[in-house]
Amino acid sequence: MSLEYYPLDRQTCLIDLASYAYTTDDIKYEWKLTNPIQQKEGLRQSLPSFELQDVLTDYCTSKTNTGEYSCARVKLLLRREYSYYLIQLYIPCIMLVVVSWVSFWLDKDAVPARVSLGVTTLLTMTTQASGINSKLPPVSYIKAVDVWIGVCLAFIFGALLEYALVNYHGRQEFLKKEKKKKTGLQECLCPNDQPLTQGAHPITRLDMSVYRKRKLLNMPGLRAWFSSTSEVSKRVDLISRFTFPSFFTCFLVFYYVTYVK
């Protein structure tokens, strides 16, 4: 049994009817030309986990040192019913991945909410993977269910790492703001020590270019744009809101084309 496409796999069961002691000189098995296999009524609906798609006939005559032995073969083509796995595996995993994206809309300062959301979805996904793999024999190759669970875990873990990046940049931005408050020089009009002359003012005049720059930055629209684009943490959250769903949608299309079809 090959489980590479599990739980979307198709299996072929072989039934061989062979002669043990008599060679083809004594006995030879042949299938009827019309309707060689008769199926019991309701057989296709009696299998709980598989759907019987077709029944084929073939020959498997073998040659050994003692002679040639006749063999008739029946091929049962089975397709696994994946409606159970759709409800128990695929839909819950998609919901867990989508729930992990909720943290992108939470405030970056809501540390307990975002961390607990990421850790909870990650642990739930791990439990889901353990429950599915416990029903299967250990094999040395990668199964379709392993690809699905692995990618879902990667998206959930990526959402958790995304918040670590957001939190790091948020703390760096906060430290920079605090440093500017402590070490920044306050702009003021300072007294001039030079003797006053006729028509002079006892204060230092500001350069007009500095005044223009200051006036430009005080414009509400430009100031809002500058402050929004200067915070890396907000931009990371904004980009993640679109990139994570887009990449996951691409994975769903790839998974469907590769395994379902």
Domain boundaries, the chain: 10-81, 85-183+220-260
Of how many residues is the chain composed?
261
Q: Nearest Cα to 52, choosing from 23, 70, 74?
A: 74
**Which of these, 54, 45, 58, 56, lies nearest to 78 by C-alpha position?**
54
Is CATH 1.10.150.570 the classification given to domain 85-183+220-260?
no
**Whole-prediction pTM:** 0.71
Task: Give pLDDT tens digits along the chain (261 positions).
Answer: 888 899 888 999 999 888 888 888 888 888 888 888 888 777 767 778 888 888 898 888 888 888 888 899 999 899 988 888 999 899 999 999 999 999 989 888 888 888 899 899 999 999 988 888 888 888 888 999 999 999 999 999 999 999 888 888 777 776 777 676 666 544 444 555 555 455 545 444 444 454 454 554 455 554 454 444 447 778 888 899 999 999 999 999 999 999 886
Q: Cβ of 206: how many Cβ atoms within 10 Å?
A: 11
Torsion 106-109-113-116 (CA) sign = positive
In sequence order, which residues have a C-beta less than 8 Å from that of residue 55 and are 6 or more positions away?
37, 39, 74, 75, 76, 77
Pair of tokens at residue 214: 């200051």
